[in-house]
């Protein structure tokens, strides 16, 4: 749908809150639901390359990026983020869409799909977090691969409640270099994470990617994934904190779904291997629309 046919006031307000729409208009729009509570959609910029054949819609969820950052914790609920996705579709007049969720965004997309929305052509669950109890198990195993001194620093500071301690932050970066992104430097990662709304992140998730103590800690939708019947693709990086074994387990719960594991990539697969990742997504979206 050409942008000129959209309500211009809606587009203006959408952009003011961190939203962007780009690309061509032959295929159904792709709506991106970013990961990390309290973050922005900017790290997904590589997916703009899909815009040659369809609109690609970016938006910042409440509490992060350019969106409003209220201090009202009653708004930091999964139901609110699910409703927000529906409002984006409604405001932009997106009758037929593909949905892409990354990490935390997969929770939003899964719960949105379980409301029975119409017009969703396909779903991509990228580096999914569809069972936080399982995520915690995987994180414990991945933490055990760190050098012993870093493991001890993590344990010591979590017991003391001092996640800002330099030694804890150093251990965090070592974990992220292995399982978050294989290509970003500490400086680049620190700059990217500097935009994180820590209040939302701590409230819903906890002090880190591997210590989940927030309101999401009991989230698990594995028993209901079979209810999602549209074409579905699961993706993960070879060294993803959403481990390939777990992602294949999710796929096994949806017999019609596909899975793609990207080599030499971690959780931020679109940053570590952008060309290959975009190729995988493009082929899936074309197939979901009946193309070759």
213 falls within a domain? no
> What's the pLDDT at 19?
62
Q: What confidence tier does 243 reach under pLDDT thresholds 50, 70, 90?
A: very high
The mean pLDDT of 159-170, rounded to a whole number, is 92
> What's the pLDDT at 257?
97
- Strands 97-102 and 120-126 turn out to be parallel
Helix H or strand E encompassing 235: strand 232-237
Q: List alpha helices for the chain, DSSP H.
A: 8-16, 78-92, 104-113, 132-143, 148-160, 166-179, 186-193, 198-204, 244-252, 269-272, 274-288
Look-up of token digits 């990742």 = 277
152 falls within a domain? yes
> What's the pLDDT at 65?
87
Last residue of a domain, which of 204, 228, 253? 204
Active site residues: 103, 240, 267
> Are 56 and 162 in a shared domain?
no
> What's the pLDDT at 16?
56
> Are 121 and 142 in a shared domain?
no
User: In this predicted model, which residue has the larger pLDDT, 1 or 176?
Assistant: 176
157 falls within a domain? yes
pLDDT tens, position by position, 217-234:
999 999 999 999 999 999
> Are 232 and 263 in a shared domain?
yes
Q: Kindly give the interhelix angle for 166-179 and 148-160, rounded to the nearest 10 degrees.
A: 130
CB 43 within 8 A of CB 19: no
> Are 23 and 140 in a shared domain?
no
CB 39 within 8 A of CB 198: no
pLDDT tens, position by position, 72-88:
999 999 999 999 999 99
Number of domains in the chain: 2
212 falls within a domain? no
Give me the percent of the chain exceeding a pLDDT of 90: 74
> Are 62 and 197 in a shared domain?
no
Q: Which domain holds residue 192?
A: 135-204
Q: List alpha helices for 8-77, DSSP H.
A: 8-16
pLDDT tens, position by position, 45-78:
999 999 988 999 999 999 988 888 999 999 999 9
| DSSP β-bridge partners for residue 21 | 57
Percent helix, percent strand, percent coil in the chain, to nearest 5: 50, 10, 40
Q: Give the Cα separation of 286 and 35 in Å (integer).
A: 24
Residue 9: pLDDT over 50: no
> Are 71 and 126 in a shared domain?
yes
| Lowest mean per-residue pLDDT among 63-72, 230-239, 267-276 | 63-72
Q: Give the Cα separation of 287 and 260 in Å (integer).
A: 15
Residue 237: pLDDT over 90: yes
Last residue of a domain, which of 204, 228, 248? 204
Residue 25: pLDDT over 80: no
Last residue of a domain, which of 204, 235, 265? 204
Question: How high is the mean pLDDT of the chain?
Answer: 90
Provide the edge-to-edge strand list for the sheet that holds 56-58.
Answer: 20-22, 56-58, 30-33, 97-102, 120-126, 232-237, 258-262
> Are 27 and 111 in a shared domain?
yes
278 falls within a domain? yes
pTM above 0.85, yes or no: yes
Residue 259: pLDDT over 70: yes
The 3-class secondary structure across 117-161, one letter per residue, is CCCEEEEEEECCCCEHHHHHHHHHHHHCCCCHHHHHHHHHHHHHC
Q: Collapsing DSSP states into helix, strand and coil, what is residue 102? A: strand
């Amino acid at each position: 749908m050409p942008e000129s046919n959209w309500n211009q006031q809606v587009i203006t307000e959408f952009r003011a809150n961190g939203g962007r729409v780009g690309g061509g208009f032959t295929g159904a729009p792709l709506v991106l639901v970013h990961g990390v509570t309290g973050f922005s959609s900017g790290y997904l910029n590589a997916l703009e390359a899909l815009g040659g054949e369809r609109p690609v819609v970016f938006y910042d969820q409440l509490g992060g990026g350019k969106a409003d950052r209220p201090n009202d914790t009653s708004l930091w609920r999964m139901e609110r983020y699910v409703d927000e996705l529906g409002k984006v579709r409604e405001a932009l007049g997106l009758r037929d869409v593909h949905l892409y969720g990354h990490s935390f965004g997969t929770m939003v997309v899964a719960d949105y799909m379980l409301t029975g929305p119409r017009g969703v052509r396909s779903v991509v669950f990228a580096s999914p977090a569809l069972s936080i109890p399982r995520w915690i198990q995987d994180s414990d195993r991945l933490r055990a691969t760190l050098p012993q001194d870093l493991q001890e620093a993590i344990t010591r500071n979590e017991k003391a409640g001092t996640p800002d301690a330099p030694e804890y932050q150093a251990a965090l970066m070592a974990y992220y270099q292995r399982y978050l992104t294989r290509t970003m430097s500490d400086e680049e990662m620190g700059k990217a994470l500097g935009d994180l709304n820590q209040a939302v992140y701590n409230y819903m998730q906890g002090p880190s990617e591997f210590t989940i103590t927030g309101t999401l800690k009991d989230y698990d939708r594995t028993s209901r994934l079979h209810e999602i019947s549209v074409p579905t693709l699961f993706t993960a990086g070879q060294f993803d904190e959403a481990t390939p074994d777990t992602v294949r387990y999710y796929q096994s719960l949806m017999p019609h779904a596909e899975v793609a594991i990207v080599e030499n990539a971690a959780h931020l697969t679109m940053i570590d291997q952008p060309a290959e990742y975009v190729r995988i997504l493009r082929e899936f979206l074309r197939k979901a629309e009946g193309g070759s």
